[in-house]
Amino acid sequence: MIRRVVGRSIAELAGDEFGALRAGRKMLVDVGTGDGKHVLHEARRRPEWLVVGVDAAPAQLQRASTSAARKPAKGGLANALFVQAAAESLPAELVDADELHVLMPWGSLLRGCLQPDAVLASLRSVARDGARLMVTLNLHAWRPPVPEVGTTVEPTPESVLVDLVDVYAGAGWRIASANYLDGEAIAALATSWGRRLNSSREQFEVLAIEAVAE
């Protein structure tokens, strides 16, 4: 079941309604979207795609979902959809997603990107074969370590290709690359987290993991 968020309203989206929105489009699903700014950015950048923002906390989605629901003449985006759901149990209707993003995860979502967990399996359950997954990690979560990272050592591009390969493979993902992002690449993500942290730290490092659904 898809619980669509528009402003302060949450309503079940019927299957035929979602089908009309999808209607032959490719689909990007942004999990843990927060305030939804990344979704709005991607929906503008990819007008031929359906861009879905998923978050367990609907209050965070109010402003972005209201903006997307406006008439196109007033800046609305008919190809942006906001959904209330937990990352561990994504709606089955989102199946065959072409691309998935998990940007600057925190809390249980961060933990789920680092160890065998329902999160990675849930992401794979809605991804088509060959779909691309991008996970970006705020490395300051290890400086000092927050509770969610537990005893894991701060990841590096090299360590990801050793320590996380089997974790991701166990959920049906093949890690293709792991790289640090420079300031330009961080800004291109168009997330509030990136802007806040980048402006508040002299050195801000983000590690991007790219994986493919197999």
Q: Identify the pLDDT of residue 174.
A: 98
Q: What pTM, to 2 d.p., does this model score?
A: 0.94
CA nearest neighbour of 95 among 135, 123, 120: 123
pLDDT digits (tens, 9 = 90+) for 170-208: 999 999 999 999 888 888 998 876 666 554 555 668 999
148, two tokens: 């969610």
Which residues of the chain have a pLDDT value below 70? 193-204
198 half-sphere exposure, CB direction, 13 A CA radius: 17
Rounded distance, CA 53 to CA 37, Å? 9
Q: Identify the pLDDT of residue 199.
A: 47
CA nearest neighbour of 90 among 46, 144, 33, 25: 33
Q: Identify the pLDDT of residue 150.
A: 86
Structural domains of the chain, with CATH: 2-213 (3.40.50.150)
